[in-house]
Every structure is written in structure tokens, then in C-alpha cells.
Amino acid sequence: MSTRVILFGGHGKVALLLEPLLVARGDTVTAVIRNPAHEAEVAATGATPVVFDLEASDVDELAALIGGNDVVVWSAGAGGGSADRTYAVDRDAAIRSMDAAVAAGVRRYVMVSYFGAGPDHGVPEGDPFFAYAEAKAAADEHLRASDLDGTILAPSGLTLDAPTGRIDVDARESRTVPRADVAAVIAAVIPDASTFGRTIRFNSGDVPIGDLFAG
């Protein structure tokens, strides 16, 4: 039976690698994007692009969009720039999407975060990364406190290297991991109920992704 996945941030580098993986295994993928100019590139992966303004949407509008799917994957982000926009997308819109998933009865939610995320992220307030660190900490905590079947994925520094298919989930320090391996991890955890309620931090490593997750 096909799993219906709605993916926020559908034109991101990880998302464009994830979409064909999901389509190839028979999933139906709705890829939410901001820029209509990206529709053709997303459609080429086999996903269905939907142009939607996350910053301007409320919970009801998001619930209407999410309804009918089986899984929400959040890989959206402001991509740097102003702190205000970072908070608006990475924190506020992400939190609304979780509340909308609850309202729509879509329990499975996968959040793409980063290795050092959390209230104790350690990023000083004057650092340009501070707004992102704060936003992701708040969004992750909201997911943990929700009734959703949530998984938080926290990859280390992202590279464009070729995938290795192997990661280290016991790492204590952030190193690097190819975006293609992050996409493979997302695909693997989506159907894996043993990852519900978990935060999974990972670098590149020696253990095959397929040995770690039931997906």
C-alpha cells in the first residue's frame, strides 16, 4: 500500500534527493514549495509540487493541505538571511505544521533538524547562527511535547559527497554526512515505528542505514 507523504521544503537539496527514493518505492509524494519557478524540477523527481506560502498560512490552511496524507516530513527552512524570517519559518511555521497535523489526524511526523540542536545549543546571541539554533530548538521541543508520532533527525554538517549508505548514530561530536545519506535515513525512518519519540543524531559512519531502521 502506498504511503502518502507531504514534504515541506520540497525544493531543498535533501528533498530533491529524497523525493525519487520515496517515489521509487511506491510512495505518493506531495512536495510543498514556495517558488513556482521550481515546479518543473520537483515534478521531474516524480513528486507532485504544490506552491504554498508557509509564512502567511494559518493552522487551518495547513491542516487542509496536510489532510489526506499519512506522513509529514519537515525539511523547510528560511535558508539564512534575516533572523525574523528564520523565526517565521524554522520555528513558527514548523510549529503550526505540527498543530495542523494534529488537527488533520496525521500522526506521523519527521523533523529534519541538526546535530547540535536543543536548548543547550551553545550558540552565542551575537552569532549569525543564533536565530536558527533558537528556532530549531523551539520547533524540536514542540514536536517532543506533542501527541504526534514524531522522529527528529539531527544530521551533522551536510556535504554534497556521494552517498556511502552508512552512518554513525552513536556519535558524540558533529562531523559530516552526505545529503544523499540524510535523504536515505529519512526514507528509512518514515515507516519505522521504533523511531517514534526518538531524536537521532548521526554522522557518516560504518553501519549500513538498512541495518539500523526497519524501513
165-209 pLDDT tens trace: 999 999 999 999 999 999 999 999 999 999 999 999 999 999 999
Sheet holding 166-168, edge to edge: 48-51, 28-33, 4-8, 71-74, 108-112, 149-155, 198-204, 166-168, 207-208
Q: Which residues contact 83 (CB under 8 A, 6 or more apart)?
A: 130, 131
Q: How confident is the model at residue 215, as a pLDDT?
A: 63
Residue of 86, 77, 147, 83 lying closest to 113 (CA atoms): 77
Which residue's entry shows cell 552569532?
127
d(CA 116, CA 27): 31
Kindly write down the DSSP assignment for every residue of 123-176, as one continuous string.
--TTSTTHHHHHHHHHHHHHHHHSSSEEEEEEE-EEE-PPP-SEEETT-SS--E
Given phi > 0 = left and psi -120 to 50 = alpha, else beta, which region is 166? beta
Closest CA to 8 of 68, 73, 63, 67: 73
Domain 4-212, what architecture? Answer: 3-Layer(aba) Sandwich (3.40)
Q: What are the sequence ranges of the domains in the chain?
A: 4-212
Q: Quote the pLDDT of residue 184.
A: 98
What pLDDT tens digit does each residue of the chain (215 aa) get? 799 999 999 999 999 999 999 999 999 999 999 999 999 999 999 999 999 999 999 999 999 999 999 999 999 998 877 999 999 999 999 999 999 999 999 999 999 999 999 999 999 999 999 999 999 999 999 999 999 999 999 999 999 999 999 999 999 999 999 999 999 999 999 999 999 999 999 999 999 999 999 86
Pairing relation of β-strands 149-155 and 108-112? parallel
Q: Transcribe 86-129 into DSSP letters.
A: HIIIIIIIHHHHHHHHHHHT--EEEEE--TT-STT----TTSTT
pLDDT of residue 3: 98
Which grid cell is 21? 527514493
